[in-house]
Structure 1
């Protein structure tokens, strides 16, 4: 099967999942009003999604290695589609919470297992560009989620948002079950449940990367989560306009993904990661100092997306080399660290914003990011990681 077609099919699934991940926030007030529950209680449906989304990444990693990565992604997308459609039919807080939890469970497999599948299919010299392209398409869904959700909710209602996403998910699922059946998918039925995780975490090389990704998620995703709120606070734009501004993040993510492999091949992985993180740090400085000027704010958000993709696609490419026989586990673990770090960063960030202001958050996380950059720069060894063989 053509590799470009594989990337487009997986990318569409990633686009839908990442867009669905962030879509509830702009429509939460509408849901609250419609079902007659206060906003604070309605926010339970966000937690109901995020918790299983984080935990089940680890479970699906093992299942993908054992039963086949393509098979697990296809299975998950079927039930992700059903759960998303059920969300459009929800009538109260209880059933909506259950449906969002189910959506989070099956959404958990798509990103890490797709990355593992790309690691299986693409040779090392093509892998980072492929990973970057996939991530770029997926993060475009995240960047557009507020504009998509806000506009659909504006012209129709919040149920229409879930219905449109269910339709997009049907398209991605049909492609996986038809054309996607030709995607190569290896199995490792002899693998033990806990051994791959213990092996990866006990290997100093892979453990170092996982810890770096954890902090990357904390400072990058933790600050990204509040960009929309910062824009609304400064400009008082509606969700649709905020979504349009945030879409530059997704566009620059695609560009960053496409060029990350070439940059890494030319200057090395370590310098590519440092370059990406430095771009994000510069973006934070621009947002803090010149965020009240719309043009520079847009530039800063675009630079943020470019930098994140350069750094994160390099980390992910390194992680694909950890364990060829347990690549699903390796990628699920790195995704868990990234999203877990982002969750912690968002939680701490909400306290900072609640007690102070958005600029305080960006300043503190910028300092943390600077410390991370210094820590990576003084690591003497290059980021050529010895493979941690599955036991």
Structure 2
């Protein structure tokens, strides 16, 4: 039953991703219906992460004090209701509210999942997070294809939101019975009873965790700004069709499926070095996307690579490294810190990107946000000391 529960958790995170990533490929149609500006559209594409950020630290507090399963199931219900409400919006203000509510539930779920599985898979934490990331990437892969297909079939962008919201509620109901507490409630101290952590800082908010948080902020702004407006860039600047832009977004998710490999590597090599190399790769790929005016085929390859490094390598390793930067009994707070730092400023990354586009054009805006900004993350990682991680060799 543990295996069944684990697969259901992965499935729930896949639906989480579908709820998030169905919005960007439908954004041109949503903007047309409501008359939103590019800045408003960019904000709506990423402002759900504000809800995630608001949920992060409170969720971390709750996870250290209450059952993780309770937080997990409640969170799925919250984000599913937010998704179902999105097509009911009458304008910018209430659509913003529904997106933030959806993000709040997604943030709670992220913190609950990674705290629970971080405690259960102590020695293989990176790999386990990579598998969860695989579920997320499958959602990123299929959501644009399903969303655009349903929009074409029914003549409205509303259909995907109703489908994905309903799917989330069904998964929440199944989780009540199929996700067992043996998976969600394990204490790390019981899994590794002989280790001592006197060499680590006593506070959960220490040099390593805070340096990783700065890197996490930068990564969230760069990657989510890119994700939020990438289909709009392809359609308005490169004149792709909605179907071609949806396929490019799906290939981002396909690249993110390498999260299993990225997480596996993070358990075996210097995680700081792996994150630095991944940030450098994202910067180089950003140049290719926004500066070379690549043809359709090459653009698809670059989208795949951005997904591989941005979603498959950076996301699971930042998350697991932050849990390794604190003592085992503090992983709930580390999980909350990750969610808040990664998604907090990411909420405004689409707005920032849109403002840069209006001021400088797509090429220079891409260089600033997707190429130069990750270098700040590289600088922050220079302060990380893996020798003080809780998985360091004695």
Q: If the length of structure 2 is used for normalisation, what is the TM-score?
A: 0.82
Contact 2:24–2:229 (Cα < 8 Å) also in 1: no
Deviation of residue 247 (structure 1)? 1.0
Matched, 1:246 2:249: yes
Give the alignment partner of residue 292 of structure 2, picking from 290, 293, 307. 290
Pair 1:33–1:290, CA change in 2 (3 A):
closer
Contact 1:318–1:384 (Cα < 8 Å) also in 2: no
Deviation of residue 143 (structure 1)? 4.4
Deviation of residue 95 (structure 1)? 6.2
Return the alpha-carbon distance in structure 2 between the equivalents of residues 138 and 211 of structure 1. 23
Return the alpha-carbon distance in structure 2 between the equivalents of residues 349 and 289 of structure 1. 16
What does 1:98-247 correspond to in 2, within 5 Å? 99-124=98-123, 126-156=124-154, 157-186=156-185, 199-201=203-205, 203-247=206-250
Contact 2:46–2:347 (Cα < 8 Å) also in 1: no
> Corresponding residue for 1:63?
62
Secondary structure of residue in 1 paired with 2:215: helix
Contact 2:255–2:308 (Cα < 8 Å) also in 1: yes
> Corresponding residue for 2:196?
none
Pair 1:110–1:384, CA change in 2 (3 A):
farther
Secondary structure of residue in 2 paired with 1:235: coil
Deviation of residue 16 (structure 1)? 1.5
Matched, 1:358 2:367: no
Q: Which runs of 5+ in 2 are unaligned?
A: 188-201
Return the alpha-carbon distance in structure 1 between the equivalents of residues 387 and 19 of structure 2. 35
> Corresponding residue for 2:10?
11
Pair 1:323–1:29, CA change in 2 (3 A):
same
Return the alpha-carbon distance in structure 2 between the equivalents of residues 183 and 78 of structure 1. 22
Contact 1:275–1:311 (Cα < 8 Å) also in 2: no
Pair 1:267–1:296, CA change in 2 (3 A):
same
TM-superposition CA deviations, 1:280-323 (whole Å, max 9, x none): 12212222343332222111111111112212322211122324
Q: How many residues align?
A: 369
TM-superposition CA deviations, 1:162-186 (whole Å, max 9, x none): 2211232133213311211344333
Deviation of residue 86 (structure 1)? 4.2
Deviation of residue 349 (structure 1)? 1.8
Return the alpha-carbon distance in structure 1 between the equivalents of residues 221 and 346 of structure 2. 4
Matched, 1:267 2:269: yes
Contact 1:135–1:253 (Cα < 8 Å) also in 2: yes
Pair 1:132–1:76, CA change in 2 (3 A):
same
Pair 1:326–1:251, CA change in 2 (3 A):
same
Backbone CA RMSD of aligned residues: 3.0
> Corresponding residue for 2:79?
80
Deviation of residue 74 (structure 1)? 0.7
Deviation of residue 55 (structure 1)? 0.9
> Corresponding residue for 2:315?
312
Deviation of residue 360 (structure 1)? 0.4
Deviation of residue 354 (structure 1)? 0.9
Return the alpha-carbon distance in structure 1 between the equivalents of residues 354 and 32 of structure 2. 24
Return the alpha-carbon distance in structure 1 between the equivalents of residues 89 and 255 of structure 2. 38
Q: Which runs of 5+ in 1 are unaligned?
A: 189-197
Q: If the length of structure 1 is used for normalisation, what is the TM-score?
A: 0.83
Contact 1:15–1:140 (Cα < 8 Å) also in 2: yes
